[in-house]
Amino acid sequence: MREKNNGALEVFLSSKETTQTVSRQVAAKVARKIGPRLYTHNLIDPIEVIVARNRWQIIGLLAPNAVISHRTALESRPTEDGTVFLTATYKRLIKMPNMRIVQIEGAGPLDGDMPFIGSLYMASQPRALLENIARTKTVAGVSRSVGAVAIEKRLIEVLRVRGVDALNAIRDHARIIAPALGLQGEFSQLDRLIGSLLRTHTANLVSPVARSYANGEPYDGVCLERLDTLRSALADSVLPLRQANQQPNEAFYNEGFFDAYFSNFIEGTEFQIDEAIDIIFHGLVSTSRPDDAHDIIGTYRVVGDYKEMQTLPHDSSDFLVLLKRRHFTILESRFDKKPGEFKDLPNQAGSTIFVAPDLVVGTLKKGFELYQTLQDCFARALFMMFLVSEVHPFNDGNGRIARAMMNAELIANRCNRVIVPSVYRNEYIASLKRMTNHNDPSAFVRVMGFAQEFVSRINFENLKNAVAILDACNAFEKPSDSARLKMP
């Protein structure tokens, strides 16, 4: 059992007054040394565990009134090897199991530095940015600075989350404290960096994302990394080629009907199959649910239009025009959803926050560049679908337009389209979440491949027969643990 210390700190310092007492405790094996003048009464846990658990208390004991600075202040954690950077009145290096304290000579607490654990202070963000911009030597392979890319990323985060005023506030505060830190030159660099992001000055920006801000077409770097992960996986895979003789005939129009029907079901627009047939093929729009009926009609006007589904974008500008046009057609009756216009407010699904409105165009264009590197039509189709879904460029209708863009890729290349039946919704949504949250494309590729094979095995020439086949395969069932999609 761990010895109790009656509420005292697990670690403590010896002093001139307590040296002899502590020495006797060590000799009696009721205390042990863990660092310079640093002891603990815990005789059971490994020293590195004790150090990690009491990291900031230990630093406060060994360096009272020091400022947590440089990269430690900006990252709010030690480096991977346990190094912590401080600024105090003199230099020193303290090593102990699982931690190394690098104390740098410099200014003590300044205006904006916040009291931290014990007697420590945490450098303000403007101070930490100035210190990280400063040229520094490495200590045993560890740099005091996070590097230019990380600095630019932090400034972009401030701009994205808190806006222009917050970025200007950092610059104003940094201007005031720079002389006390002796970092006036570093302030000039910070001033140019912020000015470049705000497009009022120019600087040699390092990261592509930062340069996109300076060029006036910013994009979401995190989203683009995820898209590149999917692109690499698709390019590195041998994907099935399920070709179909796509013609403007009954089979195509019936297949387009089921595409529109199930695509709307995924988004919560549910009709009985007979009702949907009346809406699309007999013009009987429900008077009780006219908007929902027009959603199915609008989707069918895209995915059931042979010429439209033969049209592919040639460049990024063409891609944006095509995306907006199809979206307008799908949601033409929903004026409150701003059909054909990119979103003006942030949107999210559960805990997933999609690309911010002002990053939509830049991210779509960058994503389209990745799309163009793919050769296989199924790879292009899946990438296109995920690109639109992940950016979520519209206020509403993103899933429907994403699946329409995907199927246009397939149909234009004479391949079977992908339809996600009602009963298969959970697998589809889960595969997207796994790609988004875990950068794992395997489930997404597998689920979409299964859905395409499912479609390839159905003869859509006769609508009534196709309904019967789909029904026998549980396609119309609501998602549940007991119902599974059967392959025809």
pLDDT in tens, 434-459: 999 999 999 999 999 999 999 999 99
Q: If DSSP codes are grouped into helix, strand and coil, which group holds residue 28?
A: coil
Structural domains in the chain? 66-213 (no CATH), 221-472 (1.10.3290.10)
The enclosing H or E element of 373 equals none
pLDDT at 245: 84
At 407, list the tokens: 């199927």
Q: Give the three-state DSSP class for 86.
A: strand
CB 454 within 8 A of CB 487: yes
Residue 140 — pLDDT band, cuts 50, 70, 90?
low
DSSP 193-231: HHHHHTTSS-----SHHHHHHHTT----HHHHHHHHHHH
Beta bridge pairs of residue 139:
142
488: which 2 tokens? 């025809």
Q: Determine the pLDDT at residue 192.
A: 94
CA distance 209 to 224: 10
CA-closest candidate to residue 408, choices 314, 326, 312: 312
2 pLDDT higher than 60: no
Is pLDDT at 74 greater than 70 in this prediction? yes
* Chain centre to alpha carbon of residue 37: 45
Is residue 283 exposed (0-12), middle (13-18) or buried (19+ Cβ within 10 Å)? exposed
Q: Is the pLDDT of residue 3 over 60?
A: no
Question: Rounded to the nearest 5°, which phi and psi values hold at 88?
Answer: -150, -165
d(CA 201, CA 171): 13
pLDDT of res. 352: 84
CA distance 300 to 349: 25
Nearest to 28 by CA among 41, 44, 11: 41
SS3 94: strand
pLDDT tens for each residue of 246-270 = 899 999 999 999 999 999 999 999 9
- Kindly tell me the burial class for residue 223, based on how many C-beta atoms sit within 10 Å of its own C-beta (0-12, 13-18, 19 or more): buried
pLDDT at residue 372 above 80? yes
Nearest CA among 122, 130, 112 for reference residue 184: 130
Three-class DSSP category at 365: helix
Specify the pTM.
Answer: 0.79
Contact 123, 68 (CB under 8 A): yes
